[in-house]
């Protein structure tokens, strides 16, 4: 139903009869026999039409002397917004806490049962409260190490109870040891070079584990700055063997139809890696919406988190985040420019049609 359809009393009454949630923020209805006003979607028994009065908002109904329904709470934020506000408050609480908080503590602060809080938190953020706090602690350690703090001081300040707890997570979270990360990855042997491709200029970087960044762009200076923000100690390559590997990368970027054969160094949170793996399962020439991708990984409420994971991708084309579009089919933002996204999709569609 279009937005303007709720302007007449007949349309509003029809919305009340349907318990239409889309009308909830458009108006409220009051019942003169009970003195109570409700949202159109309220599940209470429907009143007689003759006893119903309509008001543009809760303030209007309150001014007319009606009381808000205790069931649908029309004088408060919408239920989905309330849920998001409670989860946001929990995220702020975790970020400000010096020590990890238990599920029971978080649930009590949100005035919810632990089970209900856990389920709603994961639906909104795509992560469990425990995984969220782990990511926060890792980020605190990263920030501290960048400030040249000692590794021991950094991990205890981030809330780790002991060093072993952090070192169990450090390799996957940082992609190197904490000491290497604190020194800007100086011992991680990240090397890079530039090469032209159909997308323009492309920077390819490799660690000891494999290709860790593929960044298309316009200028050497911008690409180098982007890489150094990710890997502060990375150095330009002078290795002929690496140049051969880069040629393989460029060949794949220009014609990504075969199977990727080179080792990858994929660094990210568990959730990001889950999204990136799902992206790699999208066939060339096909697209998914952000909501479809969220459902594919089993987290239908984590659409924004999925979009953020796509934006954090460091391996253009190899992890094909360009194959994710908006729900209406429009090309949403792309880390390396919407024009490149359109070109990639057009090229893949053409190849698919020719097969």
Where in the sequence numbering do the catalytic residues fall? 38, 321
Dump strand ranges (E) for 105-230. Answer: 191-197, 200-206, 211-217
- Helices then strands (H, E): number in the chain? 15, 10
CB 306 within 8 A of CB 298: no
Q: How far is CA 123 from each of CA 78, 81, 304, rounded to the nearest angstrom? A: 17, 13, 11
Joined tokens for residue 67: 């009381």
CB 234 within 8 A of CB 191: yes
Closest CA to 132 of 151, 153, 144, 117: 117
CB 53 within 8 A of CB 28: no
Q: Give the side-chain half-sphere CA count within 13 A for 38.
A: 26
DSSP 232-284: TT-EE---HHHHHHHHHHHHHHH-TTS---S-B-----HHHHHHHHHHHTSPT
SS3 193: strand
Cα diameter, the chain:
86
Closest CA to 274 of 341, 322, 209, 319: 319
């Amino acid at each position: 139903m279009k937005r303007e359809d709720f302007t007449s009393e007949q349309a509003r009454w029809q919305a009340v009869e349907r318990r239409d949630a889309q009308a909830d923020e458009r108006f409220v209805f009051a019942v003169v026999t009970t003195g109570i006003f409700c949202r159109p979607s309220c599940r209470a028994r429907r009143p007689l039409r003759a006893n119903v009065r309509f008001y543009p908002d809760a303030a209007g109904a309150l001014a007319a002397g009606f009381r808000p329904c205790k069931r649908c709470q029309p004088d408060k934020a919408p239920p989905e917004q309330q849920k998001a506000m409670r989860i946001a408050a929990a995220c702020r609480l975790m970020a400000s806490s010096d020590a990890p908080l238990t599920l029971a503590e978080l649930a009590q602060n949100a005035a919810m049962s632990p089970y209900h809080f856990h389920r709603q938190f994961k639906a909104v953020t795509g992560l469990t409260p425990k995984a969220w706090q782990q990511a926060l602690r890792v980020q605190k350690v990263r920030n501290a190490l960048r400030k040249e703090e000692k590794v021991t001081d950094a991990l205890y300040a981030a809330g780790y109870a002991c060093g072993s707890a952090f070192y169990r997570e450090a390799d996957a979270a940082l992609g190197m040891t904490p000491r290497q990360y604190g020194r800007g990855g100086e011992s991680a042997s990240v090397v890079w070079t530039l090469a032209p491709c159909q997308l323009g200029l492309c920077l390819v970087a490799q660690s000891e584990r494999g290709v860790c960044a593929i960044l298309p762009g316009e200028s050497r200076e911008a690409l180098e700055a982007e890489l150094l923000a990710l890997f502060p100690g990375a150095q330009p390559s002078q290795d002929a063997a690496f140049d051969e590997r880069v040629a393989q990368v460029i060949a794949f970027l220009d014609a990504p139809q075969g199977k990727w054969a080179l080792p990858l160094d994929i660094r990210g949170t568990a959730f990001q890696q889950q999204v990136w793996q799902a992206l790699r399962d999208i066939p060339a020439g096909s697209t998914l919406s952000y909501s479809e991708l969220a459902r594919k990984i089993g987290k239908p409420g984590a659409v924004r988190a999925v979009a953020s994971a796509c934006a954090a991708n460091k391996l253009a084309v190899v992890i094909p985040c360009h194959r994710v579009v908006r729900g209406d089919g429009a090309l949403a933002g792309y880390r390396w420019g919407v024009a490149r996204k359109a070109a990639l999709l057009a090229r893949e569609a053409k190849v698919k049609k020719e097969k």
